A and B are shown apart, each in its own frame.
Chain A
């Protein structure tokens, strides 16, 4: 196939929304880490965004079909690296999630999101039948469950859970018998109590309990939710101004540059800023969905929808957590939260979306 891919053909509305979100993220990181030991985080984040743009450009140049062809190889490499992380990974913030040398660490589980998206798209595209049958569900479910369990073992429940919406949206798009949907529901109902009993760590249980009743543990994880709600509420309509939010500036807000960055944003920019920001996220999401609708083939559609599902899940869980509508799971806000792996991983996915978009101009 002859490819001609021009920078002009990139999804510019998507790119502009992305850059605005990233820029607000960098500004918020600057504001939230002023005078703390993380005060160099904002320019590091800016560098990560630049690196992300580069990776996105490279991904957009690659024909996604060739990536889909390597999906199983990438999958097995991922499993192997997750096992390596479990044994020799670096432990930070209470989880063995990172691998790297010196001050450079990569969170493998972040990049595996892209691999899962590729894997699900590849599997569902190759379906012989018109809908996902029982064995498909088991097979694909099993394939996704392995990295999930390995990530949960780290332990990192939040990231592990992000793999599920990719699978769920993929299968729903592929179609399945309603009996299976009911069966899955029943299995989940059985698994949740068992998982509660044996699968969750105490701190994970505490977070869920806290979600149901934040007042119960005002110093622990309930403290985070309460402080986050105070920060958001104190922002009122117009916000307290950049670097003026006392919840953010005086350290009452936990991790205001990573998981709770949107809380810090809400305190300093108010409801007005929040609506704008959610608007950018929404346009971003809708652009991704539009790319899915206009994808040249099913695999491209699955890829874009996988990215869209993941983004929606991240935004919902993270921002829902900030206002107390969702439990504290510790997953970052895409493109805003500080963290190289998070930024690069999402730019990589956006590159994939652009690759799908560019694909339709060539065939």
Chain B
């Protein structure tokens, strides 16, 4: 019998066989099942069509970014060497922690920060800052990990815990421990938001470690090198399976300085406990042999990222350790300016060797009485005695005769009032006042009375220790100024500035400076046996007389200056010393003396060693032979 699916007569049949064989009753429903199956298979195919045919690029790209990672190869920064090739700044390897951001889970940041002793808020802000960078780029989260922190990372960087963590070996800057030459060298640090916008750092990206001060900044491009990159295939555990390509890091170039560590150390020791600066340079070529600014700071604290506490301490220190006084402290030079005034007087013809002045301890000019530093007066004073004894009255007269504009002309010629162009960032240029300067800046006429102060290195006149060493060094060379520089470069072809100066006039000034040290002048403490040291002391007020009278700055002691060079006839080294609050220039003289002595001691040692080496070379050419020639009487 055959049945149709809908049969009402079935119910009228009371009993049925155990296994009914009327299979056609459900054929309509089975057909429905077939249509359903067709529909569902088409639904599945549509899913594949969407992913594989319609927009497969998205997924192909995603698959590529899954497996391909870029591993940064850090270029080691160039070392910094002194003139003899001794290492001043080195690198040491350390571990840095990177954060891979492709699969970063934001809730991981907090426990990671806690585990590493970082501020969670700062870490989150940091991740936020890098949001615009491509995801595959990893970011530094901590440099210079301690062993404990490395252990923490190793224990937690499995795929289940914090797969974002990535340890890399990095080179950490290693500076001299005691802040030696800290201001010259500067320090490195991570590029800041502001620096990202500076032209000099335009090619560096977020997270780069750049030179922030000193030579590290000035020669950053040369020192930095170029980071390399390795393109690798990784699996889901981040394990490298295959290397696709490598772009080796180009290490930064080493930087050889003109600085002499021996002299630098001597200068630093001499300045210990004092606030001020020392600059020593070779006036024959402009090479800076030593540059000290005190108090100094420890650049190692900056090497990674400086701790907020350390930074605040540096910023709030009234002595301002971050200031490089050698090129940034602008003070009145006091009597160290007198050689320039003397030169201006001689050159402009307002005085000559026969010009004499009587000093009775002071003199009146334009209705005002100007004191000499020696109450009793110096008696009859000529140029030589004027410089030697640093007679103020003599120089009041010279200044008065020469006029401020002539003084300014020769100060300008000596390089004052301009940056010396030293290869350090943020050099200050000081001030050389003139009638034109005053008109330009104050819209006022120059009063002749003001010239009297300028003639003894006071008034509006300011300069830096660097400028002083440079100016006087050039005068010592007979009017030839070599641009000062810190980096030794064999290709350097500096043309010196040659001033239109009669060498005979310069000679007279130099002779006076010889007297300061060697003929009972104010700089006697700079005297050295066997070396003809020339120099000039200066004791300069830090505030004007008027302000001092008004009770301002009464606790400020005078700055002690000394500028000198040696040997007298053919100078090889010029030194300027500033001791803030050192009271009198004669106290600054020994500091310069120590540096000059170190220079000539070393030279003598080298000459001797050279002679010995020469002798050794001249010795037998047939193997080692006992030196009979020497042992014979």
Listed in ascending order, the chain A residues whose CB lies under 8 Å from chain B are 65, 68, 125-126, 128-130, 169, 172-174, 218-219, 227, 229-237, 246-247, 250-252, 266-267, 270-271, 274-275, 278, 281-282, 285-286, 289, 292-293, 295-301, 305, 308-309, 312, 315-316, 319-320, 323-325
Asked if residues B45 and A234 are in contact (CB atoms below 8 Å), the reply is no
A93 to chain B, nearest CB (A): 16
Q: Spot the interface stretch: B57-65, B529-537, B576-584.
A: B57-65
Assess the A293–B48 pair: CB atoms within 8 A: no
Which chain B residues lie closer than 8 Å to A285 at the CB level?
A: 37
A250-B67, A251-B235, A285-B37 as given contacts; A234 in contact with B23, CB under 8 Å = no
- Contact of B22 with A by CB under 8 A: yes
* Complex CA distance for A172 and B28, rounded to whole angstroms: 11
Q: For A172, what are the chain B residues with a Cβ–Cβ distance below 8 Å?
A: 29
Residue contact B52 to A325, C-beta cutoff 8 Å: no
Which of A129, A130, A229, A289 is within 8 Å of B59, CB to CB? A229
Scan residues 24-38 of chain B and give those whose CB is less than 8 A from a CB of chain A: 25-27, 29-30, 33-34, 36-38
B307 at the interface (CB under 8 A from A): no
Q: Is the interface of A mostly helix, strand, loop or mixed?
A: helix
* CA distance in complex: A264, B552 (Å): 85
**16 other A-B residue contacts (CB within 8 Å) besides A233-B62, A251-B236:** A128-B16, A129-B11, A169-B33, A219-B103, A231-B63, A232-B48, A233-B51, A237-B52, A250-B67, A250-B233, A278-B45, A285-B37, A297-B20, A298-B19, A298-B21, A320-B43
Whether a CB of chain A sits under 8 angstroms from the CB of B237 is: yes
Expressed in whole angstroms, the minimum distance between the Cβ of B264 and any Cβ of chain A is 55
In whole angstroms, what is the CA distance A300 to B241 when docked? 54
Contact B21 A297 (CB under 8 A): yes
Indicate which residue in B20, B25, B47 contacts A323 across the interface (CB closer than 8 Å). B47
7 A-B contacts, Cβ less than 8 Å apart? Answer: A68-B19, A231-B63, A235-B56, A246-B63, A247-B67, A297-B23, A305-B33
- List B contacts of A275 (CB < 8 A): 45, 48
Neighbouring A residues of B44 by C-beta, 8 Å: 278, 315-316, 319-320, 323, 325
**B53 contacts A237, C-beta separation under 8 Å:** yes
When A270-B52, A278-B44 are in contact, do A312 and B29 touch as well, CB less than 8 Å?
A: no
Cβ of A278 and Cβ of B67 under 8 Å apart? no
Determine the residue in chain B with the shortest Cβ distance to A360.
B23
- CB of A236 within 8 A of CB of B60, answer yes
Q: Is the CB of A247 within 8 A of B63?
A: yes
Q: In the complex the two chains form, is B10's CB within 8 Å of A233's CB?
A: no
Q: Which 3 interchain pairs have the tightest Cβ spacing?
A: A233-B59, A323-B47, A234-B63
Cβ A130 vs Cβ B63 within 8 A: no
CB distance from A196 to the nearest CB of B (A): 25
B58 touches A252 (CB 8 A): no
Q: How far is the CA of A293 from the CA of B19 in the complex (A)?
A: 16
B20: A residues at CB distance < 8 A: 125, 297-298
When the two chains form their complex, are residues B49 and A271 in contact, meaning their CB atoms are under 8 A apart? yes
Which residue of B25, B26, B60 contacts A234 across the interface (Cβ within 8 Å)?
Answer: B60
Assess whether B52 is in contact with A236, with CB atoms less than 8 Å apart. yes
Docked pose: A299 CA to B36 CA in angstroms: 22
Query: Is A266 in contact with B52, judged by CB distance below 8 angstroms?
Result: yes
Residue from B37, B43, B241 having most chain A Cβ neighbours under 10 A:
B37
Residue B105 CB within 8 A of the other chain: yes
Which chain A positions have C-beta within 8 A of B23? Answer: 293, 295-298, 300-301
Contacting residues, chain B, for A130 (C-beta < 8 A): 7, 10-11
B396 shortest CB reach to chain A, Å? 83
- CA separation between A292 and B26, bound complex, in Å? 10
- Could you mark each residue 94-114 of chain B with 1 if its beta carbon is under 8 Å from any beta carbon of chain A, else 0? 000000000101000000000
Expressed in whole angstroms, the minimum distance between the Cβ of B6 and any Cβ of chain A is 9
Interface size class of B (residues with CB under 8 A): 35 or more
By CB atoms of chain A within 10 A, which of B10, B21, B25 has the most?
B21
Give A219 to B62 CA distance when docked, in angstroms. 15
A173/B59 in contact, CB under 8 A: no
Q: How far is the CB of B29 from chain A (nearest CB, A)?
A: 5
In the assembled complex, B617 has its CB within 8 A of some CB on chain A: no
Residue of B25, B105, B235 touching A219 (CB-CB under 8 A): B105
A residues in contact with B43, CB < 8 Å: 320, 325
B204 on the A face (CB < 8 A): no
Smallest Cβ distance from A200 to chain B, in angstroms? 23
A residues near B26, Cβ cutoff 8 Å: 173-174, 301
Most buried by A among B10, B41, B44, B236: B44
In the bound complex, residues from chain A placing their C-beta under 8 Å from that of B73 are: none
B103 and A218 contact, CB distance less than 8 A: yes
Which residues of chain B are within 8 angstroms of A246 by Cβ–Cβ distance? 63-64, 66-67, 233
Q: Which of A232, A282, A319 contacts B52 (CB 8 A)?
A: A232
Residues of A within 8 A of B45 (CB): 274-275, 278
Docked complex Cα distance between A101 and B437 (Å): 102
Q: Smallest distance from the beta carbon of A327 to chain B beta carbons, Å?
A: 14
Instruction: Give the Cβ gap from A318 to chain B, nearest Cβ, in Å.
Output: 10
CA distance A173 to B22 in the complex (A): 13
B40–A324 CB distance below 8 A: no
Give the distance in Å from the alpha carbon of A319 to the alpha carbon of B103 in the complex.
Answer: 26
Q: How far is the CA of A323 from the CA of B41 in the complex (A)?
A: 13
Q: How far does the Cβ of A288 sit from chain B's closest Cβ, in whole Å?
A: 10
Question: Does B234 count as interface, using CB distance less than 8 angstroms?
Answer: yes
- Beta-carbon contact of B47 and A289 below 8 Å: no
Assembly CA distance A65 to B17 (angstroms): 14
**B50 interfacial contact with A, CB 8 Å:** yes
**A319 to chain B: closest residue by CB:** B44
CB of B626 within 8 Å of the partner chain: no
User: Which residues of B sit under 8 angstroms from A316, Cβ to Cβ?
Assistant: 40, 44
A279 to chain B, nearest CB (A): 9
**Chain B hits for A173, CB < 8 A:** 26, 29-30
Q: How far is the CB of A305 from chain B (nearest CB, A)?
A: 7
**A292 to B30, Cβ gap below 8 A?**
yes
Q: Which of B40, B51, B103 contacts A229 (CB 8 A)?
A: B51
Distance A130 CA – B9 CA, assembled complex (angstroms): 10
Residues A278 and B47 in contact, CB atoms below 8 Å apart: no
Contact A289 B19 (CB under 8 A): no
- Please name all residues of chain A whose beta carbon is closer than 8 Å to the beta carbon of B7 when the two chains form the complex: 130
Distance between B53 CB and nearest chain A CB, rounded to angstroms: 5
Q: Nearest A residue to B25 by beta-carbon distance? A: A298
- Chain A residue contacts of B52, Cβ below 8 A: 232-233, 235-237, 266, 270-271, 274
In the bound complex, how far is the Cα of B15 from the Cα of A115, in angstroms?
Answer: 27
**Inter-chain contacts of A232 with B (CB < 8 A):** 48, 51-52, 59
B34's closest neighbor in chain A, by CB?
A: A289
List B contacts of A309 (CB < 8 A): 33
Q: Which positions 327-371 of chain B face chain A at CB distance < 8 Å?
A: none
- Chain B, residues 225-237, CB within 8 Å of chain A (1/0): the string is 0000000011111
Which of chain A's residues have a CB closer than 8 A to the CB of B21? 296-298
| B33 touching A230, Cβ below 8 Å | no
Q: Is the CB of B47 within 8 A of A324?
A: yes
Q: Find out whether the CB atom of B59 lies under 8 angstroms from the CB atom of A230.
A: yes
State in angstroms the CA–CA spacing of A270 and B18 once bound together: 50
Shortest Cβ distance from residue A119 to the other chain B in the assembled complex, whole angstroms:
15
| Residues of chain A contacted by B234 (CB below 8 angstroms) | 250
**B60 neighbours in A (Cβ, 8 Å):** 233-234, 236
Does A233 lie within 8 Å of B56, measured CB to CB? Answer: yes
A282 nearest in chain B by CB position: B41
Q: Which residues does chain B contribute within 8 Å of A315, judged by CB atoms?
A: 44
Chain A nearest Cβ from B81, distance in angstroms: 46
A219 to B59 alpha-carbon distance, docked (Å): 17
